[in-house]
Structure 1
Amino acid sequence: MNKSVLQQITLQIFSVLLFFGLIYFWVEDKDLGKSIHSTIVYFIIVIIINAVRYLRKNKI
């Protein structure tokens, strides 16, 4: 596997883990600012979409 492909897969796995961690934190602490939470979730979704596009472009 190429190094860049491995980095993309690692980034995608990290994004999913971070997303579930944020969901858990959001459920536990409802006083957290919604704007911060929605901004972080937006960046995670963008990272996942970019990783999927990259993998589709290289047909892996």
Structure 2
Amino acid sequence: MKIKLNGEDLELQDGAVLSDICAKLGIDSKGVAFAIDSEVIPRDEWASTKLAEGTDVMMIRAVCGG
């Protein structure tokens, strides 16, 4: 299935949950936040938040710098 991640198509397996996005992208989930329909999803709900075809997900990553 395809979802929208920050406006770009991302292919995931059917039945994917929010936590699968980090695994698919090969990134550490520390410093990451997700929102669906402008609502931030708490980290403890990522594994139970099922995604559907066309779901619009926003991912925000904290970066260090100065």
TM over 0.5: no
- By relative contact order (CA 8 Å, sep 6+), the higher-ranking structure is 1
Question: Taking structure 1 as the reference length, what is the TM-score of the superposition?
Answer: 0.25
**Larger proportion of helix:** 1
Question: Taking structure 2 as the reference length, what is the TM-score of the superposition?
Answer: 0.23
Larger Rg belongs to: 1
